[in-house]
Amino acid sequence: MKMNSESAKDLSQFAREPWRLFRIMSEFVDGFETLPNYLPAVSIFGSSRMKRGSKYYQLAREITKRLAREGFSIITGGGPGIMEAGNRGAKEGKGASIGLNIELPHEQLPNKYITTLLNFRYFFCRKVMFVKHATAFIIMPGGFGTLDEFFEALTLIQTERIKQFPIIIVGKEYWKGLFDWMREHMLKSGLIDERDMHIFKLMDDPRKVVEEIKVFYEEHSERQIKGEGAV
């Protein structure tokens, strides 16, 4: 039977699928080899569209500068906006400034404040690195990607797939509507428990954010020294 060009193309692509595993494995290996050298670390998330002059850009920069001065490395998604602010603050605080850049159809260029860069093709590999090597998450205002990271962390802690660690939400004005909705609909409907609403904390003061993370780390430093992170 003669195979048409479309069928041949589909078969060729299918035959290449197993080789994708090696690319996936290489991304895990790169992350697992590199990031333990920068513990303790804090992962920060937020919009790539946030402008440099915005209050949240400056807030992210201030928080990460303070964390760097306390000895924490900063991990971001490596791009512009809040990610840039996080890497910039880390560098200004004389700390390790790490970017986990993702390959996108519209290319995301790494920001200039990164001192250690890892590139990823697969979102799920990148997500593992954010969680595995984090002492805490800081969630700044953002869009779908930021919400994805936030709710995934909540789910992993709620289901006890990872050990609990600080998830700090910054931007009370921005996030208030979401949390009101969670209480009014999810909690009142019994779809989550009251304790689930305490997995994260909402705070805007950089000093309090840093203190919260410091206290947690001091109480759980043995876990970090062994390289276990939150997982």
Q: What is the pLDDT of residue 76?
A: 98
In a domain, 196, yes or no: yes
Distance CA 18, CA 23 (A): 10
Residue range 153-178, pLDDT digits in tens: 999 999 999 999 999 999 999 999 99
Per-residue pLDDT tens digits for 50-93: 999 899 999 999 999 999 999 999 999 999 999 999 999 999 99
Q: How many domains does the chain have?
A: 1
Please state, as a whole number, how many other Cβ atoms lie within 10 Å of the Cβ of residue 146.
18
Query: Using an 8 Å Cβ cutoff, are 224 and 217 in contact?
Result: yes
More confident residue, 204 or 222: 204
Domain coverage including residue 157: 35-225
Tally of CB atoms within 10 A around 121: 14
Q: Are 101 and 27 in contact (CB under 8 A)?
A: no
In a domain, 11, yes or no: no
CB 63 within 8 A of CB 89: yes
How much is the pLDDT for 104? 80
Establish if 18 belongs to a structural domain.
no
Exposure string of 164-184, with b = 16+ CB inside 10 Å and e = fewer, is ebbbbbbbeebbeeeeeebee
- In a domain, residue 29? The reply is no
Q: State the pLDDT at residue 3.
A: 47
Q: Residue 23 domain-assigned?
A: no
Q: Which CATH number fits the domain that encloses residue 78?
A: 3.40.50.450
In a domain? residue 25 = no
**pLDDT over 70 (residue 37):** yes
Does residue 30 sit within a domain? no
**In a domain? residue 6:** no
- 88/94 Cα distance (integer angstroms): 10
Which CB contacts under 8 angstroms, 24+ apart, belong to 217-221? Answer: 217/40, 217/72, 217/135, 217/136, 220/135, 220/165, 221/40
